[in-house]
Structure 1
Amino acid sequence: MTRRIAWTLLALTSVLLVLAVVPLAVSMTARERVSYRDNQRAATRVIAAAAEEHLSDHKPAAAMRKELDTAARAGDCAAVYDASARLVASTPCTAAARGEEAAELVGKVLAGHEPEPPENEGRLLAAEPAGEVRRPAGAVVLARSAAPLDARIAAIWGWSAAIGAAGLAASVLLSVRLARWVGRPLSTLDASARRLGEGALDERTDVGAGPPEVRRLAATFNTMAARTEALVHGHRAVIADVSHQLRTPLAALRLRLDVLAAGAEEGTATELAAAQEEIARLSRLVDGLLEVARAEQATPRPTAVRVDEVVAERVAAWSPVAEEREVGLSTVSAGPAVTVALGAGHLEQILDNLIANAVEAVPAGGSITLDGRETGGRARVRVRDDGPGMTAEAKAVAFHRFGNPEARGSGLGLAIVHRLVTANGGTARLEDTPGGGLTVVLDLPLWPERGNERGVAWRSLPVDRTADRSR
């Protein structure tokens, strides 16, 4: 942002300088040319007035000679012609005043016309009639070097360029300072917002820098961060209190039922066993609700998580359960590693819920496979099973609490998965497995240092399902 502001102000200032300095320099150049020409014509008229007295009134040529000497001392070349275009007098340097262009000018002046003076080899020519314009007694041609005019014009453009460069330099300094004044507080605020989103709830930003609007924004951010911190800590305290207040009575009630069932008659023992099952179900439900609440309040700080290692670990942990239910559970090969940015322990919790749901849903002889690949700048993890699958209506609400009324467990596993995945900046969706079953697809953010490894696929290891069934 700082660069954009600086470049924008610099471009705007450059345009304004060009629009202001260039037209001014052009105007001053044109004025200088006109002034130089007028001065040259005035000098020519002075010589023409003295020449008229000699040519028309037949007075001595002393005055004319005097004016020619004055022109020569000024560096000009002048020549006086009579009415028949014959040279009467001139300065020592007559070449510039007696050429073809000079002769052409003399002819036009004697014919009663006012010619446009040309520039000849760095000299400017001027011609004036001696006497009346329509019936001149002669003509005077004065050639003056254009070097002084060129020097003045160069000085005008040089000063204009210097002024433009100075203005541009001042604009650079001011634009950079202004851009930093505005951009640095916003960059600090952006970094603070990023750290707050990563879970640093005590993050605050500086409110003493930048324009008033940015300061107010920083103060509002700090207020929001403080309220968010208080709200999250309050929810966490409530979750802890509820966890203690619910689990303790349930545990005590379960122990009492165990004591009563130990010495009860057969009919009573059956009823007490049913009550114990309901207490166990209620405990699982409370645990699930607390897990969902914790997932909803999660503000993870991303860490580098090796997906292949976590997958292999969780598959190994769940293999005994899968073998007991005669379900095949496959792992992945240790190919080029894929590293994702997730909160500590979140991928383990996500996979535990997905594998638990799949093991519960897949019948004996079925299979569960975990595979994935790095694609599109994301890490894609899939948990596939060949169980009964889900209807389109059930998939639409599966990530809600108790979204699937046909779920065998508490109905909270996918809700926990969805909360944890989205809290970490990922996405989760459900698809049908080709041939029947359900596939859970997770798109997780890559760890930045490994973001350039694309197209790395995990290869599913073959599973001996006969051996699984035999166990």
Structure 2
Amino acid sequence: MTRRITWTLLVLTSVLLVLAVVPLAALVTARERVAHRDSQRAATRVIAAAAEEHLSDHRPATAMRQELAAAARAGDCAAVYDASARLVAATPCTAAQGEEADELVADVLAGHEPEPPENEGRLLAAEPAGEVRHPAGAVVLARSAAPLDARIAAIWGWAAAIGTAGLAASVLLSVRLAGWVSRPVSALDASARRLGEGALDERADVGPGPPEVRRLAATFNTMAARTEALVHGHRAVIADVSHQLRTPLAALRLRLDVLAAGAEGDTATELAAAQEEIARLSRLVDGLLEVARAEQATPRPTAVRLDEVVAERVAAWSPVAQERGVRLTAESESALTVALGAGHLEQILDNLIANAVDAVPADGSVCVDTRVAGGSVRVLVRDDGPGMTAEAKAVAFRRFGNPQARGTGLGLAIVHRLVTVNGGTARLADTPGGGLTVVLDLPPWTERGHERVPRRDLYRF
């Protein structure tokens, strides 16, 4: 945002400076040229008036020579010609003589308005001595263009300096303005990211920035406070439910155990069935509480070594798999690190391995495979069990989605919630040759993607 605001203001300022300064400098330059030309023609006419008195009235050439001397002292070169284009008098310099001067004299004596040329850094002007239609002679005055060029260069130099100063001021102003607008937005974005990562006590700084950003920060803080209260309330409910349900279930199981110890016959059978139902109810309550905890999870991503956790969980479940005659193996492409909440990967793998070991018959196999897939890290839990129908796979990630599940039917729901809350995806696929494959795409850990931005910086414009 800072870069876009800065470049937008710079481009706008540059366009305005070009549209304002360049035409103004061009206008002043044109006026300087006209003023220089008018001044030169005025000096030429003064000499022409003195030359007319000498050529038409046959008065002494004293006044004409005085004007030529004054022109010479001013740095000009002048020459006076009679009606036959013959040189009558001139200044010591000869810049007003030559082919170009002769052409101007011919035009003036013919009663035409000459077009003064500009050559080799000098300007020529020609005026008739006497009447325009029947002049008694002509005067040619050559003046150096160096002073005019210097003034024009100074004009454009000042224009460039003004444009540069304006552009520099625009750069400073745009950087300050962009910082005033974007820094509070960046701080608010960092606060929102930390809130999304699980820091429920995160709040944005409402002080700096434009009014709209301050209102947005205040609204964000209100939302964060309500979210924190809601999550803490739900966690309190889960804790209360866990305590209130588990305690009577444990007491009921204990009483049934006491009764079953001395029961015989049909009574013992019924009590054993009741014990199984109590155990099933306990597992169901534990599963529902796990789902609720997963749904309330607001994880802070941490760097988790995937290969190490997979090896650890496979080693932990290997005795169970061996007891049931199932081969449990792990394959890893390389040392991979994923961004997950603390303990989530262990919980995900435990649920998936437990489901696979339960589903696979004796002499079956379960394999946990990890690899890089595009921009994510892929985990595949493959088994060669009976698999699932298309209808069962469509609802498997829902609570009690699979009616054919041997357990509570909550394991895949917990896995799906933990994967998605960490920014990953989960899906089910068929294993080649028969069986089920759970495909998890997990976000990789990148240091740059998990930088922490200072929270309480104050920005003032």
Tell me what 1:393 maps to: 391
Greater displacement, 113-122 / 201-210: 113-122
Task: Provide the rounded CA distance (Å) in 1 between the counterparts of 2:391 and 2:25.
Answer: 77
Tell me what 1:356 maps to: 354
Task: Provide the rounded CA distance (Å) in 1 between the counterparts of 2:274 and 2:131.
Answer: 136
RMSD of aligned C-alpha atoms?
A: 1.3
Tell me what 1:103 maps to: 102
- What is the CA distance between 1:17 and its match in structure 2? 0.9
Indicate whether 1:294 and 2:285 are aligned. no
- TM-score, with structure 1 as normaliser: 0.93
Task: Provide the rounded CA distance (Å) in 2 between the counterparts of 1:191 and 1:87.
Answer: 89
Alignment of 1:163-312 (within 5 A): 163-312=162-311
Tell me what 2:85 maps to: 85
Task: Provide the rounded CA distance (Å) in 1 between the counterparts of 2:135 and 2:432.
Answer: 111
Indicate whether 1:328 and 2:361 are aligned. no
- What is the CA distance between 1:260 and its match in structure 2? 1.1
Correspondence for 1:384 among 372, 382, 385: 382
Q: Which residue identity is paired with 2:431?
A: T
Gaps of at least 5 residues in structure 1 are 452-471
Task: Provide the rounded CA distance (Å) in 1 between the counterparts of 2:392 and 2:105.
Answer: 107
User: Identity of paired residues, percent?
Assistant: 87
- TM-score, with structure 2 as normaliser: 0.95
- What is the CA distance between 1:57 and its match in structure 2? 1.9
Q: Which runs of 4+ in 1 moved over 4 A?
A: none
**Residues 293-330 of structure 1: CA deviation (Å, up to 9, x unaligned):** 11111111111111111111111111111112211111
- What is the CA distance between 1:4 and its match in structure 2? 2.1
Tell me what 2:65 maps to: 65
Residues 334, 371 of structure 2: 8 Å contact kept: no
Q: Which residue identity is paired with 1:103?
A: D
Tell me what 1:344 maps to: 342
Task: Provide the rounded CA distance (Å) in 1 between the counterparts of 2:114 and 2:291.
Answer: 99
Partner of 2:370, secondary structure, is strand
Q: Which residue identity is paired with 2:74?
A: A
Gaps of at least 5 residues in structure 2 are 450-461
Partner of 1:365, secondary structure, is coil
Tell me what 1:16 maps to: 16
Tell me what 2:404 maps to: 406
Task: Provide the rounded CA distance (Å) in 1 between the counterparts of 2:331 and 2:312.
Answer: 11
Partner of 1:448, secondary structure, is coil
Partner of 2:128, secondary structure, is strand
Greater displacement, 149-158 / 395-404: 395-404
Partner of 2:294, secondary structure, is helix
Tell me what 1:461 maps to: none
- What is the CA distance between 1:66 and its match in structure 2? 1.8
Task: Provide the rounded CA distance (Å) in 2 between the counterparts of 1:392 and 1:96.
Answer: 104
Greater displacement, 45-54 / 290-299: 45-54
**Residues 380-403 of structure 1: CA deviation (Å, up to 9, x unaligned):** 110011111111221111111111
Task: Provide the rounded CA distance (Å) in 1 between the counterparts of 2:110 and 2:432.
Answer: 106
Greater displacement, 2-11 / 298-307: 2-11
- What is the CA distance between 1:151 and its match in structure 2? 0.8
Q: Which residue identity is paired with 1:251?
A: A
Partner of 2:441, secondary structure, is strand
Tell me what 1:457 maps to: none
- What is the CA distance between 1:265 and its match in structure 2? 2.4
Tell me what 2:156 maps to: 157
Tell me what 2:427 maps to: 429
Greater displacement, 356-365 / 241-250: 356-365
Tell me what 2:454 maps to: none
- What is the CA distance between 1:450 and its match in structure 2? 10
**Residues 190-221 of structure 1: CA deviation (Å, up to 9, x unaligned):** 11111111111111111010000010011111
Partner of 1:332, secondary structure, is strand
Residues 312, 332 of structure 1: 8 Å contact kept: no
Tell me what 1:440 maps to: 438
Indicate whether 1:366 and 2:393 are aligned. no
Partner of 2:203, secondary structure, is coil
